[in-house]
Amino acid sequence: MSQPNRLTRGGRIDRSRKLSFTFNGKPYQGHAGDTLASALLANGVDIVNRSFKYSRPRGIVAAGAEEPNAVVQLGKCEAGQVPNVRATQQALYDGLEARSTNGWPNVQRDLMSVIGKLGGKFMPPGFYYKTFMAPASMWMTYEKYIRKSAGLGRSPTEPDPDIYDHMNQHCDVLVIGAGPAGLAAALAAARSGARVIVADEQEEMGGSLLDSRELLDDQPAEQWVAEALQALADMDNVTLLPRTTANGYHDHNFVTLHERRTEHLADTAPLKNGRRQVRARMHRVRAGRVVLATGAHERPLVYGNNDVPGNLLAGAVSTYIRRYGVVPGKKLVLSISNDHAYRAALDWAESGREVVAIADARANPTGELVEQARAKSIRIITGSAVIEAKGDNRVSGARVAKIDAEGFRIVGDVTTLDCDTIASSGGYSPVIHLASHTGSRPTWRDDLLGFVPNLVKGVVAAGGAHGVYATAEVLADGVAAGAHAAEEVDCKAAEVRLPQVAARDDGEACALYQVPHEKPTLRAPKQFVDLQNDVTAAGIELATREGFESIEHVKRYTAMGFGTDQGKLGNINGMAIAARCLGRTIPEVGTTVFRPNYTPVTFGAIVGRHCRELFDPERYTALHQWHVENGAEFEDVGQWKRPWYYPRSVNGKVETMHEAVARECLAVRQRVGILDASTLGKIDIQGPDAREFLGRVYTNKWAKLAAGRVRYGLMCKDDGMLMDDGTTSCLGDNHFLMTTTTGGAAGVMEWLELWHQTEWPELEVYFTSVTDHWATMTVTGPDARKLLSEVTDINLDKDQFKFMDWREGKVAGVPARVFRISFTGELAYEINVQANYAMHVWKMLFQHGEKYHLTPYGTETMHVLRAEKGLIIAGQDTDGSVTPEDLGMQWAVGYDKPFSWIGKRALTRPDTKRSDRKQLVGLKPKDPKVVLEEGAQIVFDPSHAIPMPMVGHVTSSYYSAILGHGIALAVVKGGHHKMGETVYLPMADGQVHEAKIVSNVFYDSEGERLHA
């Protein structure tokens, strides 16, 4: 199987190892050491994708992370599918299968390209804001086809078989990038004794030195790379991470690194010793200092049809020739504005292919590489540039013209040159993405015609990342950066010998950011600025004419810098065009904001091991096994598995949930029941300012709560809406135990910490979650006191141990706290014991409770019992729009408290004082057999024309066995003033239920049973 563009020798590939792969279903071969991109070019594959918007044929442009076009779907089996993989960053492996992400029915013949040919007229920037508006009835049809054509790749539909890791790392110095600057910095920092991590996104470390023409210490540059890497690998204080991208830079030198551990080996991670290896790892690195050695991206030039396959970056041409032994064509035209880009022409000529001409935008270029090109008799056309590429599916020629670089005008005749490849270079743009993640805006430098990072404390840049390009200077800059970073973390400076660079071939870094072109119009040959998002020069000019002056608005209107590209190639050119149209300078226009991730990261790597059963861990109480053995059905409450109900077998027939709940409810009302309430959130609060803090987060007063007493409290958000409720017990003068709802425990803990740390740091108060420490057993019912008195040494006399008291003593011989509080309206005791003793106490209660017919009950019964008493559950009977007053709980609000508790001010707003707010009421269905549906909408007039005005909804609804009819809690507009009125609940099946608004307390309204 031939590789027509592969050189017979040269490059860093292993020609002895042939690898088979397929692209778009067609088989090809490459070699170990290839990327998918280099292998495709070696096999003469021109079209690798179709463009996002216009469906134009696209080929490979770059050789690294900046590649905008070669974005592929990887994987042969559905479970191993990975979308949006850059072919330039995917190592070739045997059996690799890849497909283009766009193109229907295939990438060679895409029917959508018809739209693309008319795109300039029918799909200008912002066309999605201006079209598909009418007729509105057709929107669902529009949406179907828009969604079908949108996107870059397809998400897999089967579970991912791979595993992923997260790892927390600490180091003194993190070096991001392992090119010449990064390696030099790492050597300097490591030899000082600092702990160093070096991360580089390429398969091999070495960066630009891997395809350099230079000699270091009279040896090929790659030899120095090998020696430097070996020296670093031999040091115990150094960690080398190839194939690792620094995808996000966060505050305080916290950097996330995405390491692709086995993605270069197979679709899914291979097995080792019978276990699947980790596919990718996310390192969470906290570094003392960070060295940004991220290099620079070469800038393409903007000219007509610059997206046709066969248009490449000059540096990419050299990389493919020197590193992979691939020449991506036969006849080259080079359009450049700097000396360094002459490398491409020299490498091309030395490979035995024809360099048709070099169009240099400068009037009188000089320098060593220029002279080398002249010595090889390569034609140099000065003061000129390529203004248009000819060809459709592959470059077939280049139109070259004399230009006025100052005025951006063509000033001479246009010549068409026969070629199949055009390479361009408009200089270099420092890679500032990571530095921008911190929120700092980059700084423009006229001498570089580019932005450099505005560094925050603890960060130093080296090499191309801040505009140093000559190899000798880059190495020296790297050593200085590494030494400085090490010194800042108190490591003694060490000497690093710099290699002698035999020839400086870098020359002038750049002299021009934008090649002049024929005036862009929507009908002229498209001159692309952002190749991934099909943003043209004409599109940017149109955006400025339509009033978009902020570069951020231009970005969003045109999509420049969107997607996985993040403006790596096109941003500077786009800003230059916008600046020229607006009559401003580039620094006045500014740059867009770059955000993580620098390159795409799989969801698997982000999630790590936190998936399946580890994504939302199941939590069990200390009594869980007893519940299982006694046939409990469970429900999920937050992460907890709570007993829902306990179905019994009666005459060989297992009870339904309705039957079991009715039996459990009657047992509690008539005898005694027991509930595992261990899941309730428990927060231990201590400190001399604990009372003050409680008074600020709760709506009621806490200053005088005595030790041994319990108080119910409401907790509001700062908008005055209820967020949680619960009881808090005074354990001592400066010691309290707060309980929360099961599902709200984590949120309340976070809420307390937030207000303490950000608003009241002067208060000395401490919070500790003790939910898992204490098991809670609620014994409730008329016989609760009789049962508990048999197993405790606590005096349970009703006059000595009153409602809302707590006592300390022993239960079943175990130290315990017993609280006389009730969520059922019955005489009840909550027993708290250390969780390890819970099973012993629970079994002892059942042993003594047999004569009282002690019955376990679950959460469903608990809900019925509390609803009969009109007690709410935050999150079920509230939805973030309900105030304490809406709930009729003014008694729990201290309006005269000296300090403004959270939400107090919001309750004075006119909106929260409206009389027609939705308010908590009870509903009694007209038909006693009816149990209203939770969430059912309520109306006052069922005969009203549709749409009927909705006035509320049902929040909780149950059948009450003790009352013999259905009951419901609901929120109704102005409900507190509509007692006795009838409301209607239209159902989806056409029925309309009637219900009367009543008090939300259905049972024992005087509370006699509670205080028994």
Average pLDDT score over residue span 391-399: 95
For the sheet with 384-390, list strands across it. Answer: 384-390, 397-404, 409-418
Confidence (pTM):
0.78
Phi first, then psi: give them for residue 608, nearest 5 degrees.
65, -135
The pLDDT score that the predictor gives to residue 420 is: 97
**Residue range 633-645, pLDDT digits in tens:** 999 998 999 999 9
Q: How large a percentage of the chain has pLDDT more than 90?
A: 73
User: How confident is the model at residue 151, as a pLDDT?
Assistant: 65
Is the pLDDT at 522 greater than 50? The verdict is no
Q: CB of 211 within 8 A of CB of 319? A: yes
Residues paired with 780 in a beta bridge? 673, 828
Q: For 174-183, 271-280, 859-868, which range has the lowest pLDDT when averaged over its residues?
A: 271-280
Mean pLDDT over the full length of the chain = 91
Predicted confidence at residue 523, as pLDDT, reads 53
Reported confidence tier of residue 514, pLDDT bands at 50, 70, 90: very low
Residue scoring higher pLDDT (347 or 134): 347
Q: What is the 3-state composition of the chain as percent helix, strand, coil, each rounded to the nearest 5? A: 25, 30, 45
Q: What percent of the chain has pLDDT above 70?
A: 95
Q: Kindly give the pairing relationship between strand 653-654 and strand 649-650.
A: antiparallel
Q: Write the pLDDT tens digit of every residue in 944-969.
A: 888 889 999 999 999 999 999 999 99
pLDDT at 146 over 80: no
Note the pLDDT tens digit of each residue in 429-483: 999 999 999 888 899 998 888 999 998 889 999 999 999 999 999 999 999 999 9
967 Cβ contact list (under 8 Å, min separation 6): 867, 868, 922, 923, 924, 957, 958, 959, 960, 1002
Average pLDDT over residues 140-165: 79
Please write the tens of the pLDDT for every residue from 90-99: 999 999 999 9
| 557-586 mean pLDDT | 88
Tell me what pLDDT residue 946 has.
Answer: 82
Higher pLDDT, 542 or 801: 801
Q: pLDDT band at residue 133, thresholds of 50, 70 and 90? A: low
The more confidently predicted of residues 559 and 692 is 692
Taking only the tens place, the pLDDT of each residue in 762-775 is 999 999 999 999 99
CB-based contact 48:59 (threshold 8 Å): yes
Q: Phi/psi at 965 (nearest 5 deg)?
A: -155, 170
pLDDT band for 134, please (50, 70, 90 cuts). Answer: low
Task: List the Cα angle 288/289/293 in 5-degree steps.
Answer: 150
506-511: average pLDDT: 41
pLDDT digits (tens, 9 = 90+) for 484-506: 999 998 888 777 878 888 754 44
Q: Count CA within 13 A, CB hemisphere, residue 63.
A: 29
Give me the pLDDT at residue 448, please: 86
The two tokens of residue 911 are: 């909106």
pLDDT at 508: 43
pLDDT given for residue 506 in this prediction: 44
pLDDT level of residue 512 (50, 70, 90 thresholds): very low
Lowest mean pLDDT among 244-248, 275-279, 855-859: 275-279
Q: What is the pLDDT of residue 507?
A: 40
Packing angle of the helix pair 571-582, 551-558 (nearest 10 deg): 120
Token pair, residue 704, equals: 């005088």
pLDDT recorded at residue 686: 98
From residue 593, alpha-carbon distances to 252, 432, 567, 606 in Å are 19, 10, 10, 22
CA-CA-CA-CA torsion for 145, 149, 150, 155, nearest 10 degrees?
100
- In total, the chain counts a number of residues equal to 1012
